[in-house]
Amino acid sequence: EIVMTQSPAALSLSAGDRATLSCRASQSVSSNLAWYQQKPGQAPRLLIYAVSTRATGIPARFSGSGSGTEFTLTISSLQSEDFAVYYCQQYNNWPPWTFGQGTKVEVK
Amino acid sequence: EVQLVQSGAEVRKPGESLKISCKGSGYSFTKYWVGWVRQMPGKGLEYMGIIYPGDSDTRYSPSFQGQVTISADESINTAYLQWSSLKASDTAMYYCAKSAIMSAAGPFDYWGQGTLVTVSS
- Give residue-wise pLDDT tens across range B31-86: 999 999 999 999 999 999 999 999 999 999 999 999 999 999 999 999 999 999 99
**pLDDT category of residue B103 using cuts at 50, 70 and 90:** confident
CB pair distance less than 8 Å for B44 and A87: yes
CB pair distance less than 8 Å for A44 and B95: yes
- Rounded Cα distance between A69 and A19, Å, is 20
Closest-CA residue of A relative to B98 is A46
- Rounded Cα distance between B102 and A91, Å, is 14
Mean pLDDT, range B89-100, rounded to an integer: 97
pLDDT, position B95: 98
- Rounded Cα distance between A71 and A100, Å, is 12
- Rounded Cα distance between A42 and A21, Å, is 21
Residues of A in contact with B48 (CB under 8 A): 96
Q: Give the residue from A46, A21, A1, A15 showing the smallest Cα distance to A104.
A: A21
**pLDDT category of residue B101 using cuts at 50, 70 and 90:** confident
**pLDDT category of residue B27 using cuts at 50, 70 and 90:** very high
Query: Secondary structure of chain B: what % helix, strand, coil (to 5)?
Result: 5, 50, 40
Are the C-beta atoms of residues A57 and B15 closer than 8 Å to each other?
no
pLDDT, position A96: 84
Residues of B in contact with A34 (CB under 8 A): 106-108
pLDDT, position B114: 98
State the burial class of residue B97 (Cβ atoms within 10 Å of its Cβ: 0-12, 13-18, 19+).
Answer: buried
pLDDT in tens, A15-44: 999 999 999 999 999 999 999 999 999 999
Which residues share a beta bridge with B38? B46, B94
C-alpha separations of B2 from A32, B28, B87, B100, B115 in Å = 23, 10, 33, 11, 18
pLDDT in tens, A34-85: 999 999 999 999 999 999 999 999 999 999 999 999 999 999 999 999 999 9
Which of B45, B48, B111 has the CB atom closest to A87's CB atom?
Answer: B45
Closest-CA residue of B relative to A48 is B107
Mean pLDDT, range A89-104, rounded to an integer: 91
